[in-house]
């Protein structure tokens, strides 16, 4: 954390879609060490494991030990694949990651709200809760995730606020993916609480071939931090997004 005459600046490192596998042992340690040296807080935006197995989570927990800074995370869809998201979450919590699922927390005077999110589409193309039961259940899941995000944001009382998700809350950061799958990459329903409870910045993953940066309708920056996207977009830099957040009335970077 940098201290200036104007106040403090907290540097965030954000990344998602690590897709840790059983063959990842020893391969992510240097990456996390780089993030730990570059930032004050590490944000993990879902798809932390590849198949959501206990073995993958154990390996990831070992790799994360090299970061040595506070860590906050949310799960992604891959972390649910084996039906053991609670075990994956517990393992990562035991490794020191503050896992959020509709909760909020505070580090260095910055408030963080996190949720996995869900799919459903954007704007007029968003799926509506009409017709067959499975369609209604699909939309209901998106609404539940949206309400969890709203609840987490409403709890924040800090001047600086950050939201982290896995699914994309805006269509801008999924551009580059095939339009046919936009509806499965996120939903604009997740944008609604970000407008009611404004934050300084939003991070998400999931869209590996999307766009690195966009903004909500009220101008909040939104970053797609899927690791494959960052590695391809910025080949000369480590694949995590750095963001400086000024606190105590210091000017934002």
Domain borders along the chain are 2-247
Q: How far apart are CA 100 and CA 96, in angstroms?
A: 12
> In this predicted structure, what is the pLDDT of residue 250?
43
> In this predicted structure, what is the pLDDT of residue 247?
84
- Classify residue 34 as exposed, middle or buried by CB count within 10 Å of its CB (0-12, 13-18, 19+): middle
CATH of 2-247, one of 3.40.50.1000, 3.60.21.10, 3.40.50.970, 1.20.1530.20: 3.60.21.10
- pLDDT mean for each 10 residues of the chain (253 residues): 66 98 96 98 98 98 97 98 98 98 96 98 93 95 98 96 98 98 97 97 98 97 98 97 82 43
191 forms beta bridges with none
> In this predicted structure, what is the pLDDT of residue 251?
44
The token pair at 121 is: 């589409």
> In this predicted structure, what is the pLDDT of residue 90?
98
Chain centroid to CA 195: how far?
A: 17
Q: Taking the model in full, what pTM does it have?
A: 0.94
């Amino acid at each position: 954390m940098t201290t200036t005459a104007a106040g403090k600046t907290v540097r965030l490192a954000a990344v998602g879609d690590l897709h840790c596998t059983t063959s990842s042992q020893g391969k992510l340690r240097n990456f996390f060490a780089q993030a730990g040296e570059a930032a004050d807080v590490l944000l993990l935006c879902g798809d932390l494991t590849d198949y959501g197995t206990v073995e993958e989570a154990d390996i990831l927990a070992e790799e994360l030990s090299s970061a040595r800074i506070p860590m906050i995370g949310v799960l992604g869809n891959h972390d649910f694949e084996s039906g053991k998201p609670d075990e994956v979450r517990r393992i990562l919590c035991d490794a020191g990651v503050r896992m959020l699922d509709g909760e909020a927390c505070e580090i260095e005077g910055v408030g963080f709200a996190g949720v996995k999110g869900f799919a459903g589409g954007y704007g007029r193309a968003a799926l509506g809760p009409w017709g067959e039961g499975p369609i209604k259940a699909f939309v209901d899941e998106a609404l539940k995730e949206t309400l969890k995000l709203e609840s987490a944001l409403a709890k924040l009382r800090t001047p600086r606020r950050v939201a982290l998700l896995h699914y994309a809350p805006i269509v801008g950061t999924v551009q580059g993916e095939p339009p046919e799958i936009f509806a499965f990459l996120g939903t604009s329903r997740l944008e609604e609480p970000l407008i009611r409870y404004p934050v300084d910045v939003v991070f998400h993953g999931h869209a590996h071939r999307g766009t690195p940066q966009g903004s909500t309708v009220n101008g909040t920056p939104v970053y797609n931090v899927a690791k494959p996207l960052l590695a391809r977009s910025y080949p000369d830099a480590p694949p995590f997004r750095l963001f400086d957040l000024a606190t105590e009335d210091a000017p934002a970077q």
